[in-house]
Each structure stands twice: as structure tokens, then as C-alpha cells.
Amino acid sequence: MDPQNPVVHLCSEGMLAEADGRTADARTHYEQAYHVAADDYEACIAAHYLARQQSTPEDSLRWNEECLRRAELVGDDRVRAFYPSLHGNIAHAYQQLGREDRAYEHYVLASSRIGDLPPDEYGDAVRQAIADGLRTTAP
């Protein structure tokens, strides 16, 4: 991602605010990023970060679904690595809502895209979250 991109820059500022415990500031940066997004790719990035700052599973689910909708509109390799985490986040929200059936569906979708994850700590963390989710929601 291009750090000079306004959306990426605002999300980076939001992550710094999160790290400092300034969640309200983080959310403000992510909201600004969403509003200045020039295309579906940028809106997808901003929606991902907005989903992290929601106070209810319903709102988190709504923003994660918006992120998924935008990723599907992009439809190219720029969003390929987003899908495992994105479906995992949707699954987690469904789990919090007591919808184990829907959670499991999204963990399965996440696992089907696991090969798109990078071979690094982030990828390992997402892979572990998906494996844990599949174990806890399996019918």
C-alpha cells in the first residue's frame, strides 16, 4: 500500500492513535479515510479499520460486510490477501452474536482463501484465528 495515499495515511494515523489508547481519535481518522476514499479499494481499506472501532458486534459486522462488498467490487489482486482476514472478522462478529452457523460458514470461506495470506507473523496470526474459529464453531 502506498503510504502517500490519503486513505492509507489517515488509517496509519488511526493505528498510531489506537496504539496510544486514543480510540476516539483512531475512529475519527478511519471515518475521515472512509469519506475521502476515491474508489472501492480505498473504501475497502477504510471500512476494515472502521470495523475494528465499533462498540457492538452488529456494527462491526455491518462494517466488515461493507468491506467485503467493496473488496468484491474491486475484484482484482489488490484485495486478494484481504479475504481470509475479512471472512474471519465477519465470522467472529457472527460468533459474538451467537450465530455459530453463520460464523462457521465464514470461517470455512476464510480457510478456502488461506493460501492468499503472506508467510509472515500477520499471516500466521490469521491462520491461527481461522483454525480456532473452525474448531469452536464446527457443527
User: How would you write 50-64 as a 3-class SS string?
Assistant: HHHCCCCHHHHHHHH
| Closest to 43 measured CA to CA, from 16, 78, 95, 15 | 78
Cα(15)–Cα(37) distance, rounded to whole angstroms?
A: 17
SS3 81: coil
What's the pTM value of the predicted model, to 2 decimals?
0.90
Residue 5, pLDDT score: 92
Residue 42, pLDDT score: 97
- pLDDT by position in tens, the chain (length 139): 787 899 999 999 999 999 999 999 999 999 999 999 999 999 999 999 999 999 999 999 999 999 999 999 998 999 999 999 999 999 999 999 999 999 999 999 999 999 999 999 999 999 999 999 999 999 9
Residues 6+ apart with CB under 8 A from 86: 48, 64, 67, 68, 71, 110
